[in-house]
Structure 1
Amino acid sequence: MTARLIIQLAALLGALSVGIGAFAAHGLRKSLEAAGRFETFETAVRYQFFHTMALFGIGLLLLARPELRSLGTVAWLWLGGIFVFSGSLYVLCLTGITKLGAVTPIGGLLFIAGWIMLALAARQL
Structure 2
Amino acid sequence: MRVTRSLAVFAALNGALAVAIGAFAAHGAGPQIKTLLTTGGHYQMVHAVLALVCAVWPSRSRLVVVAGWLAAAGGLVFCLALSAIALLSLPAMGAVAPIGGVLMISAWLLLAVAALRSQITTAA
Q: TM-score per shorter chain, which class?
A: 0.7 to 0.9
1:65 corresponds to which letter in structure 2?
Answer: S
In structure 1, how many angstroms separate the alpha carbons of the residues matched to 2:97 and 2:70? 14
RMSD of the alignment, in Å? Answer: 1.4
Give the equivalent residue in structure 2 for 1:11. 12
How many residue pairs get aligned? The number is 116
In structure 1, how many angstroms separate the alpha carbons of the residues matched to 2:116 and 2:4? 19
Q: TM-score, normalised by structure 2?
A: 0.85
After superposition, the C-alpha distances for 1:92-116 in whole angstroms (9 at most, x for unaligned) are 1001111111121111111111111
Q: How does 1:1-125 map to 2 (within 5 A)?
A: 3-27=4-28, 29-30=29-30, 33=31, 36-61=32-57, 64-66=58-60, 68-125=61-118
In structure 1, how many angstroms separate the alpha carbons of the residues matched to 2:17 and 2:91? 24
Kindly report structure 1 stretches of 4+ aligned residues shifted beyond 6 Å.
Answer: none
Secondary structure at the aligned position of 2:117 is classed as coil
Q: How much does 1:18 deviate? A: 1.1
After superposition, the C-alpha distances for 1:14-68 in whole angstroms (9 at most, x for unaligned) are 12211221123222x23xx1xx22111110000000001111111121xx222x1
In structure 1, how many angstroms separate the alpha carbons of the residues matched to 2:76 and 2:20? 16
After superposition, the C-alpha distances for 1:72-103 in whole angstroms (9 at most, x for unaligned) are 21122112212321110011100111111112
Q: TM-score, normalised by structure 1?
A: 0.84
Amino-acid identity (%):
36
Secondary structure at the aligned position of 1:65 is classed as coil
In structure 1, how many angstroms separate the alpha carbons of the residues matched to 2:51 and 2:63? 13
Where in structure 2 are there 5+ consecutive unaligned residues?
Answer: 119-124
